[in-house]
Amino acid sequence: MYFVTAPFFLRWYYPKVTFNKSRKEQKVYLTFDDGPIPEVTPFILNTLAAHHIKATFFCVGDNIAKNRDIYERILAEGHQVGNHTYNHLRGWDTDDSVYLDNIEKCQQLTGTTLFRPPYARAKKSQLKALYEQYEVVFWDVLSGDFDTQISPEKCYQNVIRHVKNGSIIVFHDNIKALPRLSYALPKVITYLQEKGYGFGIL
């Protein structure tokens, strides 16, 4: 089970987490989790370049190490990167010291001020240790592209039905998401541009 939009109790439980940016500007923030990987990231980068858009990539350290050339392309094309742990750890299931060490290992590669916990599963004790160094970013629109039970069209609809000014939108930079991502991402961008939205980085 997952929520397409961040429910009030999640915002209440994580009061210091960023779920969206300013509602005053007609701007949205595309984010991509889990990459970089050769099967998906170049498609995302090509799509963003075609529309002259910058985005934020929450990268897994192990994937950076394996695909350094793609990671360097993300940076060279002016995109932002965030820390998504080194091994895509679920914080709820991981000892605090192990989790924080894994984040630091990824940080050696990213040098970023942004962190997003995989699965949005992190203990308060873990986040408390991170707040001084990072802006912890969740989202307010989850595309559901990782969900193999939904259609590509449903993934697209998940975004356009819930997006609003300041929305942080999540897609996934992984193979499982590709059938829905490859359909929905270009359509979402076109729809939002036609509605007058701008695109920003966090």
CATH number at residue 44: 3.20.20.370
Residue 1 resides in a domain: no
Using the Cα atoms of residue 97, residue 80, residue 183 and residue 10 in order, give the sign of their dihedral: positive
Contact (CB, 8 A) for 180 and 145: yes
> What is the total count of domains within the chain?
1
The residue segments making up the domain with residue 42 are 8-199
**What per-residue confidence (pLDDT) applies to 140?**
95
Residue 135 resides in a domain: yes
CB atoms under 10 Å from CB of 27, counted, come to 16
Helix ranges, 18-67 (H) = 41-50, 61-66
Tokens representing 184 are 């929905």
**What per-residue confidence (pLDDT) applies to 193?**
98
**What per-residue confidence (pLDDT) applies to 9?**
87
Tokens representing 99 are 């989790």
Q: What crossing angle do the helices spanning 178-194 and 152-162 adopt, rounded to 10°?
A: 40
Residue 3 resides in a domain: no
Task: Encode burial over 120-152: b for 16+ CB neighbours within 10 A, e otherwise.
Answer: bebbeebbebbeeebbbbbbbbbbbbbbeeeee
Q: Which residues are catalytic?
A: 33, 172
Contact (CB, 8 A) for 61 and 109: yes
Q: Per-residue pLDDT tens for 22-72?
A: 999 999 999 999 999 999 999 999 999 999 999 999 999 999 999 999 999
**What per-residue confidence (pLDDT) applies to 2?**
82
Q: Per-residue pLDDT tens for 14-32?
A: 999 999 999 999 999 999 9
pTM score above 0.95: yes
* 61/29 Cα distance (integer angstroms): 22
* 7/23 Cα distance (integer angstroms): 17
> Percentage of the chain surpassing pLDDT 90?
95
Residue 115 resides in a domain: yes
Tokens 């995302």 found at:
44
Tell me the DSSP string of 63-111: HHHH-HHHHHHHHHTT-EEEE--SS---GGGS-HHHHHHHHHHHHHHH-
**What per-residue confidence (pLDDT) applies to 3?**
82
Residue 86 resides in a domain: yes
Per-residue pLDDT of the chain (202 residues; tens, 9 = 90+): 788 998 888 899 999 999 999 999 999 999 999 999 999 999 999 999 999 999 999 999 999 999 999 999 999 999 999 999 999 999 999 999 999 999 999 999 999 999 999 999 999 999 999 999 999 999 999 999 999 999 999 999 999 999 999 999 999 999 999 999 999 999 999 999 999 999 999 9
**What per-residue confidence (pLDDT) applies to 54?**
98
